[in-house]
Amino acid sequence: MIFLRRNAAAFGWAGFALIFLALVLFNYIIFFEHDFLEDMKDRDFVNYWMAGHLVREKNEMLLFSDLQTYAAELSRRTGPLIQQRYWSYPPHFLFFTAPLGYLSYYPALAAFLALGAAFFAISSGIFLRGLSPGKLALLAPFIMCNAV
C-alpha cells in the first residue's frame, strides 16, 4: 500500500491519459467517415497551415480577401475539402502561424499538436497540482471536448 500512496499522482496521470486516449479512439471509431489522414486535412488547422505559407510567401493579404479567392487557393494547395474554411482570426495571429509555413502539412500538424500537448501538460501540472487522481479522471470528458 505504501507504493500506491507514494505513486498516487503517477497512477492518476496514467489513468487520466488512458481515459483521454480511450475517448479519442472512441470518437474516431464511432464517427469515422473518411480516411484518417485525409480527414485530418479537413480540420481548422488547415487555416493555420495555409496562413503560415502565405506569410512566408508575403501573400498574407489573401487571407483577408474575398472568400472565393481564399477558398480557391486553399483547394489548389490541399485538394477539395469537405467543408468550406474561412480565415476568421485577427491579424496578430499570423505571428503564431508563420512558423508553420516552413513545414509540409503533416509535419506541421504533428508539431502543432505536440506543442499544444506540451503546453497543456505544463499548465495542467501547474494549475491542477492539488487535485486527486479521481477528480482528474472526472475532468477528462470536459478536457476531451476541448481537445477534439
Better-scored residue on pLDDT, 144 or 62? 62
Better-scored residue on pLDDT, 42 or 133? 133
Please enumerate in sequence order all residues whose Cβ is within 8 A of that of 39, keeping only pairs 6 or more positions apart, or say none.
Answer: 33
72 pLDDT above the threshold of 80: yes
93 pLDDT above the threshold of 80: yes
Cα-Cα-Cα-Cα dihedral sign, residues 105, 48, 101, 72: positive
Q: Are 143 and 20 in contact (CB under 8 A)?
A: yes
Predicted confidence band at 141 (pLDDT cuts at 50, 70, 90)? low
Cα-Cα-Cα-Cα dihedral sign, residues 45, 114, 19, 132: negative
- Average pLDDT along the chain: 75
Predicted confidence band at 3 (pLDDT cuts at 50, 70, 90)? very low
- pLDDT value for 109: 83
pLDDT digits (tens, 9 = 90+) for 8-67: 666 667 777 777 776 666 666 556 554 555 556 657 788 898 899 999 999 989 888 888
Place of cell 464517427: 31
6 pLDDT above the threshold of 80: no
- pLDDT value for 46: 86
Using a cut of 0.75, tell me whether the model's pTM lies above it: no
DSSP one-letter string for 42-98 = TSTHHHHHHHHHHHHTT-GGGGGS-HHHHHHHHHHHH---SS-----S-GGGHHHHG
- pLDDT value for 120: 73
